[in-house]
A and B are shown apart, each in its own frame.
Chain A
Amino acid sequence: MSQDPKKIPGWLRGKGKPEQEPPSEPPTPEPPTPDTPPTADEADSGDFPPWLRGEQPPAAASDSPAKLRRLSAQPPEQQGSLPPWLAGMEESKSVKIGGTELSEEYLKSADELPDTLDSEMTYDSWMAQQLESKRVKDIEEEIPGDLIDLIKEDQQAETVVDPGEKKATGQLPDWFLGLEELDTTEAPDWFQTDDKAPKATSDQMPPWINDMVEEEPAEEAPPEMDDIGSFFNSIGSSAADEADEADEEEEAPDLDWFSAPEEPEQRQHLPDTGFFRQLVGKGESEPSSKALSQADTLPSLDDTQPKPPDQPLTPPKPAAPVKSQFELPDIDDFEDEPPEREDEPRIDIPQNELDAFFDNVAADRDDSPALSFDDIEDPEMEWIVPPEPVAEEPEPEAEPAPESSSEDNLNWLNELQGIVNSATRPLQPPQEEIVPQDIAKAWDAPPVQADSSDSEADAFAWPETEYVEPEPEPQQDSDWLTTITPDDDQPPTEAEISQALEPPPMPSTPPTGGSLLSSRLRQAQEQKAPQPAPEPEDEFPSEEALIPEDELQTGWLTDDLFVDEQDQQAAPAASSQSKPDDDDFFSMLEANADANLLDEPPDDSLFNDSTIMTPRPPELKSEPPAEDEFFAALNFGGGQEAQPAEQEAEPQDDQFYSSLFGDEQGSEQPAASDDMYASWSDEQPATSETEAEPQDDQFYASLFGDEQGSEQPAASDDAYASWSDEQPATSETEAEPQDDQFYASLFGDEQENEQPAAPVASNDALPSDDDLFASLNFGDDEGSDQAEPLTASSFENEMPQTGDLFGSLNFADEQADNQAEPSAADRDFFAALNEPEIDELPPAASEEGLFEQWSDESPAETSAPAQDNDFFASLNEPDIDALPPAASEEGMFAQWSDQPIEESAVPAEDDFFAALDMNNALEEEPVSEHDDVPEDFFASLGLADEADASPTQPVRDDNLIWNVPSENEVPAEAEAEADPYREWDAPQKEMPPEDDFFAALGMIGEAQPADTLPAADQDVTEAPPEEDFFKSLGMIGDEDASAAIRSSGRGATTPPAFSDVDSYLASLNSEQIDVTPTTDDLFKQGGSVDIDALFSEPVLPERTEKTKTDELLPAVNADWLAQLQASVGEVSASAIVRQKEDKPVEELSDRLKKLRARAEQIPDEAPAPESDALTNVLPGVPSSLAAAPVSGTESTLLQNVVLTADQQNKVNLLKALVPLDERVGTNRMSAIEATYDSPFMADLEDTAETVVQPTKAEATPKARPRKRQRQRIVLRPDRFLIAVILALAVILPFLFTGFRVGSLPPSSFAAGSPEQVAFSQLDRLKPGSLVLIGMEYGPTAAAELDPMTEAIIRHVLLRASYPVLISGDALGSLRISDLFAPINADTAFLHRIGLTQALAANHDYYIVHYLPGSVIGLRAFSENTTDLLLTDIQGQTTNLRVRSLKDFALVTVVTDRAETVRNYAEQIMPLTQAPLVSAVSYSAAPLAEPYAHTLGGGLLIGYQDSYTYNVMLGTANTLNMGQRIRIIPTDEPTVTAPLLPAEAQGGVPAEVSTEAATAEAAATEPASLGTATVNSTNTVNMRSGPGTTNAVIAGVPGGTQVTVISYNADRSWVNVRLASGVEGWISAALLTITPKTALTHLEFYGKQRIDPGEPTNTPRSTRVTTRAASPTATASPTATASPTAAATRVPATATATEGAGLLLAQATSEVTAQTTTESAPLGVTETVIPTATATATATATASATSTPTAAATAQATAFVGAPGVTFTLPPHSDGYQDERWYAMNLGIIASAIVIGFGAVFNVVRGLLRRGQRG
């Protein structure tokens, strides 16, 4: 579509204002009278829509076509009244920026901007909305019920329903269900089915467009309105509405529509332009460094875009949606419910933007049957859970006002607009120019379709009635629109464009309705106009295929346009740099607006900021603050300058950008510039550095979404990180959800749809309200324009849809823009805005989600195909898929990169801007930015002229750009999807993001891309990515670019394509400014970036090489997608942001960590203040998003700006709102919180609670101290001292005997004590008895209780009994075996028990089951003892044949829990007659003691008793050890005779022999296991054998007592002997058996258990056991022989010459003492013990001897009384028992001292305090 200059309106061609007004001059600050028609070329005004021309909105003329209506829908009020501040934008140029003077009026205009305080919207309400949005919602809630209904209806309605769509999926669209496929059938089908959009059109139209069209054209949508038209109408309407209010309101220019007449407050909630101004900072008050930096980077303020900040960014609201606009309820209203649509059924769910969107879609569907939900939106509502914060206000707003049926479709857009408007209320009512029919035609008339003109007209036509032309913006828009409309089929002729452009001289008149977007769009159109629909065919088909210049030109944007823009922009861009102040900013915006708008009545605020409108820039140059940057970003043309700044610029901008384009960007960007960069850097590690300009990156990112970010060299770490993160893995990105969401929404959903969004986004980028709105309007307009061509050409019917789509996109963008302004709030706001989109986004609400989706899809569809599909579908999946570049960002970028663009090196910003600049270059006008974007965008979309010009081409373009294959193409696209993504990923690395992006988009004409602007002359191939991008977009034909350049006067001489922002700027401002150093260079330099210098920098050469970042960027990981998904539905954008904020660094991915580190490093380079400023701007942004280094120095803008008192006040207000001092840490409060805290927001507060009385003294708000909660380890002296004391107390006794305080525990238990009882219980055990020992403690109590357990086991062994150990503690059961290790190692002990070998499990002891279930386990054990004892813990057979617990002679439990004692007492003891000995820890003693007393088994407590016990065991071995019985697993009940001799050989005491004789004798006796009583009233049978099969040998009357001889194997039968001597078997069930007292294990099993007996020396397997005939126990007399044995044994113990002598000596003495007192109980060997004692004593100490008492005394003397014992001397006892004891003593003493001292100290302290109080 060669640009036909004729077709292009003059204003588009830049002939208008730029020529008239030297770009250098700041926009003549005409009072913000929207009415003031574009001062530019009135002659051209004819081309402008009425509203642009300041005429009454066409809406007034109901008969006007829908298009007109929509245009008219824009707030006509604005026309009438420009905000005073706008009005104040007179030329007086007191301030010089970059050598350019700024008119005082211009600055004043900014002053006039209403403060945010004015906004009616309270943050409370806003908050409430956000909260509501955050609220987890069911799917039903998520999905507007109306939507479902609509779906149903659609399905029912044949006309509406696409045959191809999947109705089978049910009511819910497939995409919603995630079932959607990319089948070509879907998208195309609905087109086909769509009445409005014939298939042919659909073919032509890119699928995504079709989708959009389908979606948007709601049933509701008035037939007359196209989607675009509706969109614009909505915008216009809103604008109009707002305009009315806007007049009243100062700042909120465009926001008016949002706030709607109803609620002026809404406007307030969003920071007004003033806010941005403040953000920008004034020279006086230090503007946030970031802001400054941004401002620096921002394109020249003077840019033509006349967007008054006040004016609503949004172009005139589309008629249909307009309704909502007009009616837009307060934000508060939105919170809960979407505003009801007057005309159409109200949608209740509107809270979410998505909902609103869907509603709108549904409505559109109604209108246009073609639409299918599936097609509409891919994103799954579910997981997309609307980002909480974001969704809040915006959504509701949009919804409420759906006036027309089409409105419904656009509702959410409206909402967005409303939000934006509210946020950025235009000071003046949006001077929305009623699009003249001509213009409308131009818009409507899709070049492609003959019919399109009509259909398009409908679609795009502004709602005549509704539109009230927004003053400034509308004009621009109108211009832009006019350019579009004029040629139905073909892109607007140059003349048209020029006309359109001319009319709205920004400077002169207050910004008419034209918003930044609109201005941009205009610019884009202008630029593109020449290039309109530039060869969509070529471009679309292949990524590389950038739209040829011809094609581009064919688009409504012609070279002339571009040229104009460039011309216009060039000046402004340069100038813009200088403007620091808010005022300046606004002035800049105005100027920009002027410039950009090409003479359109600049919305001062908007366009001032938006340096984009470069035309004037040179003059105005007031450096746009962050806002400016933002605007600049928005304004593609202006973007040159602004863009760079933007990135760094407030996160808001970022958000905005992100919102516009990439989700990721947005998300990431929100954070400080650093963050943004980081995000980028992740992907493009290298880039971050180069791309010093985060803003740019952000902007790019925003524009292009993730891809950009990723691809872009993104200087800032964060941004890069976000990008990269997202792609690769996502979660890391941290990118702020809001942004993400926003981006996602924009991009994901819309953007994907895409590019339209992108261009729009750029427009949106404008931060200032007016600017934003203007930009938005512009964007919208443009978008619509672009859409129009497409629609017109290909899809007449569909157009409306497209329109809606664009509208939606624009809306989003606008909103985003608006939101972008308020830092914190902005986020939320944006988030809210974006939320819906996000929600829509199938993959994820978060950036990541988007990226994931994208990436997933692209790389491997597998991961989230459904989502992807959905997402794409929603976004125009088909497009995406089809789009070679990519569905995913990466893909896009990759594509871009793939394309000729090689500029990877160029910072993303640059690229982006360059790309953007394409337009600008073409158009010097303020709109240049618009031009850029629009061109490309539109071109890509094929919407614009291209469509008209060459219907076929547009289609291709669409396909290419969006990858949206036409229906026909769809199939191929589906395949392509994966590839595209792959491409994206890969390309990103390789290609500079921008390039890639553009390439991917295919938008970029080879030559054209923004970069190309200057480089238009260059070959397409060489053209930088931007060029490619634009080419791909088809917006810019190389020719166009060149033409534009030519027209601009730059000529081919200008550098070829825009490699960088610089290049772009250069291209734009080449004439005026020679920017030698690139922005990148500047940024690289370390932060001190002078805007002037920046702008003065020469254009960078094209990038031929890939940036490092590109290469370094890791491929996208599917993981991050998953992560995103996880968090997607959870929260709103803001919530996500918070979450991410809260996310600990550790959890970050490596990439993010690196980026973070990098970002943190950056600040060092750059002056702190800057970073602070930026961070302050975004309170909620994690610290990771550090300020970009770019902001190193104050921009000259600030320095040069002279602030008036009012201005200064405003600045102060901004500062108050945004803490500037400190960097916000990860824990920084959210924007909302910050807002609440702000004293200046008191007016806004609903509740007194939240209100903070403003302290006017706080001219400079105090930055909130960064709440960094560093957990330090505070070492408290007292604690430390106590610890040391205790440690020493327990250590010293081990080392120094002098610290061994106190006496050792007694050597024996006191008589009658529980301990003594316990000991006696054990000591009474008969040989062969079974003792159940419960080891119920774990390692924790091991230190205390192990000695006790060991002592008990030893004692049991000493008694020739068999311990059976169980445990309900898992670890305890495992440790049981370890307790035998020391015993086995104690050979002396083994000798004592008559063993020469170690104890063997299942022979000498039994470790059985672990008893799970605590009480249940015990109970089960008690009930089923036999079975549970059959195997040991290792599963080995135990050979224990215990019938029940009664077979145990004793039960012992060792535990540290009193409850365990209780359990044993309750569960075990009832089933046994044995006593229970409890050995407990100190802690368990109190509660265990009652049981001990009750059961009488005795109680052992703690280490002390264990110590005593062990001592007693040392001497109390009274058992006849030779009598040990070993059980052999043999069935033969042979009883051996005395084995003792053999064992005696092994050292067994001689006395054993005596017992052995006895035992032998006993062994011959018949075994008697006890008695039994026949338990039956009847006579029972006695049988010959066990079992009923045996013969009955006798009858035994019940109650007869019999003697138990033996049992059968299972003990079910008992061999009994009657008193008569008859033996037989009786069933055990019939007998009540009374075991023999103290039944030994041997006895229990009877003969058959007795091994024949072999010498002790026999192997263990054949180990002989002797019957431990109980009589032997009494054979104590033999004890007299024991002395010998003792003598023998003592050496072993004493041999412990190691030093154990002490213990032995003591034990001896104690035992001796005991002997005297308690010899009776021990009985057995009293006499023996003394002997042993004597020996031991002798061993220990020669002197301590004779008497035990003496020994004890000696001991005491030795250790207690001889402190002088050297360290080495103190011998240690076995197991350091003594030392432990002393340590305990000393520890207790120390503890008591400490506690006592503490008590006294505290008491005294308390008393003193009390006294003081008194």
Chain B
Amino acid sequence: MARLGTALATAIAIGFGLLTVWGLLSSANVPIANITQVILQLAVIMVAVTILLGVLNLFVVHLRRIGRRQKGWVYSFVLIVSAAAVIGLWITGQTTTNQFLLENVELSVESALAGLMVFALVFGAYRMMRRRVTWSAVLFTLVLLIILIGALPVPQVAFLASVRAWLLAVPVSAGARGILLGIALATVVTGVRVLIGQDRSYRE
């Protein structure tokens, strides 16, 4: 039964996958396209449900932690309270408050954290060659400096700006394209594997 079940699950998955592909490749007016849309909607709904589940799980986990007084339970408490407050505000329609919190708390905090990265990144770059000086490290450092300095709107480093532009237009773009091509190929391969059931068991 187990094998049969697996085969069945795989067959279903493959079937729907092919159906979806078929629908996506067909014109919008084709009936199959409607089915595809339904499938996609279901997928989106499921994803949304997973988000809800995640929220619930979040609550459960942290409530449990609070109940057990586990380490960091205070933070959990704060989290729960915050989440509950936000939800409550949203439900009650007090979006203004929510927006205020979002902009003045969430945004500020995340932006600040992002801003702090500069310190770590710069320090990391500063120490990059402390252990070992390699050609790659040197190259990296040079390019980094060129890009940085070249970005400066300072006439004195105009030549670096041109170098920077060239770097971005040629090597960087080439690399990016190569990466994108690789991604595309990998996506196709993975898609095929998924469609034929080689990449997923579809049953656990």
CA distance A1178 to B175 in the complex (A): 61
CA distance A1629 to B27 in the complex (A): 11
With contact pairs A1279-B123, A1486-B172, A1798-B127 given, residues A1304 and B153 touching in the complex (Cβ less than 8 Å) = yes
With contact pairs A1301-B154, A1486-B173, A1799-B128 given, residues A1629 and B103 touching in the complex (Cβ less than 8 Å) = no
A and B contact pairs by CB, cutoff 8 A, 19 listed: A1278-B123, A1278-B127, A1282-B126, A1283-B119, A1287-B119, A1301-B154, A1339-B111, A1341-B114, A1342-B107, A1375-B102, A1377-B99, A1419-B40, A1420-B43, A1423-B24, A1423-B28, A1489-B172, A1785-B153, A1799-B129, A1806-B132
Which one of A1304, A1462, A1629, A1789 lies within 8 Å of B152 (CB-CB)?
A1789
User: Is A1283's CB under 8 angstroms from B123's CB?
Assistant: yes
User: Is A1798's CB under 8 angstroms from B126's CB?
Assistant: yes
- Confirm or deny: A1487 has a beta carbon within 8 angstroms of a beta carbon on chain B: yes
| Beta-carbon contacts under 8 Å, B99-124 to A | 99, 102-103, 106-107, 109-111, 113-115, 118-119, 122-123
- Confirm or deny: B198 has a beta carbon within 8 angstroms of a beta carbon on chain A: no
Chain B residues whose C-beta falls within 8 Å of the C-beta of A1341 in the assembled complex: 114
User: Is B47's CB under 8 angstroms from A1412's CB?
Assistant: yes
Total interface residues on A, CB under 8 Å, equals 65
| Beta-carbon contacts under 8 Å, A1775-1814 to B | 1785, 1787-1789, 1791-1792, 1794-1799, 1802-1803, 1805-1806
Chain A residues whose C-beta falls within 8 Å of the C-beta of B176 in the assembled complex: 1458, 1486-1487, 1489-1490
User: Is A1796's CB under 8 angstroms from B145's CB?
Assistant: yes
User: Is A1802's CB under 8 angstroms from B127's CB?
Assistant: yes
Beyond the given A1282-B126, A1791-B118, A1795-B126, please list 15 additional residue pairs across the A-B interface where CB-CB is below 8 A: A1303-B153, A1303-B154, A1305-B153, A1375-B103, A1413-B44, A1785-B152, A1789-B152, A1792-B149, A1794-B123, A1795-B122, A1798-B127, A1798-B128, A1799-B129, A1799-B138, A1803-B133
Residue from A1279, A1374, A1489, A1799 with most neighbouring chain B CB atoms (10 Å): A1799
The minimal Cβ–Cβ distance linking B175 to chain A, given in whole angstroms, is 7
Chain B residues whose C-beta falls within 8 Å of the C-beta of A1659 in the assembled complex: none
CA distance A574 to B188 in the complex (A): 89
Which one of B99, B130, B148, B173 lies within 8 Å of A1489 (CB-CB)?
B173
Which of B6-14, B56-64, B75-83, B177-185 touches A? B177-185
User: Is A1798's CB under 8 angstroms from B125's CB?
Assistant: yes
- Confirm or deny: B48 has a beta carbon within 8 angstroms of a beta carbon on chain A: yes
User: Is B130's CB under 8 angstroms from A1802's CB?
Assistant: yes
Chain A residues whose C-beta falls within 8 Å of the C-beta of B195 in the assembled complex: none
Residue from B33, B109, B148 with most neighbouring chain A CB atoms (10 Å): B148
Chain A residues whose C-beta falls within 8 Å of the C-beta of B102 in the assembled complex: 1339, 1371, 1374-1375, 1378
With contact pairs A1420-B43, A1799-B129 given, residues A1792 and B148 touching in the complex (Cβ less than 8 Å) = yes
- Confirm or deny: B201 has a beta carbon within 8 angstroms of a beta carbon on chain A: no
Which one of A1282, A1416, A1796 lies within 8 Å of B44 (CB-CB)?
A1416
Q: Which residues of B contact A (CB under 8 A)?
A: 24, 28-29, 33, 36-37, 40-41, 43-44, 47-48, 51, 70-71, 95, 98-99, 102-103, 106-107, 109-111, 113-115, 118-119, 122-123, 125-130, 132-133, 138, 141, 144-145, 148-149, 151-155, 168, 172-173, 175-177, 179-180, 183
- Confirm or deny: A1533 has a beta carbon within 8 angstroms of a beta carbon on chain B: no
Across the A-B interface, the 10 shortest Cβ-Cβ residue pairs: A1798-B126, A1802-B129, A1413-B47, A1339-B110, A1420-B40, A1302-B153, A1339-B107, A1795-B125, A1487-B176, A1412-B47
Residue of A nearest to B146 (CB): A1792
- Confirm or deny: A1144 has a beta carbon within 8 angstroms of a beta carbon on chain B: yes
Residue from B44, B106, B109, B118 with most neighbouring chain A CB atoms (10 Å): B44
CA distance A1795 to B102 in the complex (A): 35
Residue of A nearest to B23 (CB): A1423
Which one of A1282, A1304, A1420, A1444 lies within 8 Å of B123 (CB-CB)?
A1282
Residue of A nearest to B115 (CB): A1343
CA distance A1339 to B110 in the complex (A): 6
Residue of A nearest to B151 (CB): A1788
CA distance A146 to B119 in the complex (A): 66
Residue of B nearest to A1119 (CB): B68
User: Is A1486's CB under 8 angstroms from B175's CB?
Assistant: yes
Residue of A nearest to B119 (CB): A1283
Which one of B47, B111, B141 lies within 8 Å of A1799 (CB-CB)?
B141
User: Is B141's CB under 8 angstroms from A1424's CB?
Assistant: no
- Confirm or deny: A1146 has a beta carbon within 8 angstroms of a beta carbon on chain B: yes
Which one of A1279, A1420, A1795 lies within 8 Å of B41 (CB-CB)?
A1420
Residue of A nearest to B169 (CB): A1489
CA distance A1343 to B109 in the complex (A): 12
| Beta-carbon contacts under 8 Å, A21-40 to B | none
User: Is A1340's CB under 8 angstroms from B154's CB?
Assistant: no
User: Is B37's CB under 8 angstroms from A1802's CB?
Assistant: no
CA distance A86 to B137 in the complex (A): 73
User: Is B71's CB under 8 angstroms from A1147's CB?
Assistant: yes
Chain B residues whose C-beta falls within 8 Å of the C-beta of A1286 in the assembled complex: 118-119, 122
- Confirm or deny: A1254 has a beta carbon within 8 angstroms of a beta carbon on chain B: no
Residue of B nearest to A1501 (CB): B168
Chain A residues whose C-beta falls within 8 Å of the C-beta of B138 in the assembled complex: 1799, 1803
Chain B residues whose C-beta falls within 8 Å of the C-beta of A1547 in the assembled complex: none
- Confirm or deny: A1417 has a beta carbon within 8 angstroms of a beta carbon on chain B: yes
The minimal Cβ–Cβ distance linking A1002 to chain B, given in whole angstroms, is 37
User: Is A1791's CB under 8 angstroms from B148's CB?
Assistant: yes
Which one of A1302, A1378, A1796 lies within 8 Å of B99 (CB-CB)?
A1378
Chain B residues whose C-beta falls within 8 Å of the C-beta of A1485 in the assembled complex: 168
- Confirm or deny: A1338 has a beta carbon within 8 angstroms of a beta carbon on chain B: yes
Residue of B nearest to A1482 (CB): B151
The minimal Cβ–Cβ distance linking A1442 to chain B, given in whole angstroms, is 13
CA distance A1794 to B118 in the complex (A): 12
Which one of A1370, A1424, A1434, A1791 lies within 8 Å of B40 (CB-CB)?
A1424
User: Is A1412's CB under 8 angstroms from B177's CB?
Assistant: no
Chain A residues whose C-beta falls within 8 Å of the C-beta of B109 in the assembled complex: 1339
With contact pairs A1378-B103, A1412-B47 given, residues A1788 and B127 touching in the complex (Cβ less than 8 Å) = no
With contact pairs A1278-B126, A1788-B152, A1795-B141 given, residues A1412 and B51 touching in the complex (Cβ less than 8 Å) = yes
| Beta-carbon contacts under 8 Å, A644-659 to B | none
| Beta-carbon contacts under 8 Å, A1746-1773 to B | none
The minimal Cβ–Cβ distance linking B172 to chain A, given in whole angstroms, is 5
The minimal Cβ–Cβ distance linking B163 to chain A, given in whole angstroms, is 14
User: Is A1282's CB under 8 angstroms from B37's CB?
Assistant: no
Residue of A nearest to B42 (CB): A1420
User: Is A1340's CB under 8 angstroms from B113's CB?
Assistant: yes
CA distance A1339 to B183 in the complex (A): 27
The minimal Cβ–Cβ distance linking B112 to chain A, given in whole angstroms, is 9
The minimal Cβ–Cβ distance linking A195 to chain B, given in whole angstroms, is 50
User: Is B133's CB under 8 angstroms from A1424's CB?
Assistant: no
CA distance A1340 to B138 in the complex (A): 30
Chain B residues whose C-beta falls within 8 Å of the C-beta of A1419 in the assembled complex: 24, 40
CA distance A614 to B97 in the complex (A): 79
User: Is B119's CB under 8 angstroms from A1282's CB?
Assistant: yes
With contact pairs A1486-B168, A1792-B148 given, residues A1798 and B153 touching in the complex (Cβ less than 8 Å) = no
User: Is A1340's CB under 8 angstroms from B119's CB?
Assistant: no
Chain B residues whose C-beta falls within 8 Å of the C-beta of A1798 in the assembled complex: 125-130
| Beta-carbon contacts under 8 Å, A1325-1378 to B | 1338-1343, 1370-1371, 1374-1375, 1377-1378
With contact pairs A1378-B99, A1423-B40, A1794-B126 given, residues A1343 and B114 touching in the complex (Cβ less than 8 Å) = yes
Chain A residues whose C-beta falls within 8 Å of the C-beta of B71 in the assembled complex: 1144, 1146-1147
CA distance A1792 to B151 in the complex (A): 11
Residue of B nearest to A1791 (CB): B122
User: Is B128's CB under 8 angstroms from A1340's CB?
Assistant: no
CA distance A1629 to B28 in the complex (A): 9
Residue of B nearest to A1305 (CB): B153
The minimal Cβ–Cβ distance linking A1721 to chain B, given in whole angstroms, is 23
User: Is B114's CB under 8 angstroms from A1340's CB?
Assistant: yes
Chain A residues whose C-beta falls within 8 Å of the C-beta of B132 in the assembled complex: 1806
User: Is A1490's CB under 8 angstroms from B173's CB?
Assistant: yes
| Beta-carbon contacts under 8 Å, A1615-1645 to B | 1628-1629
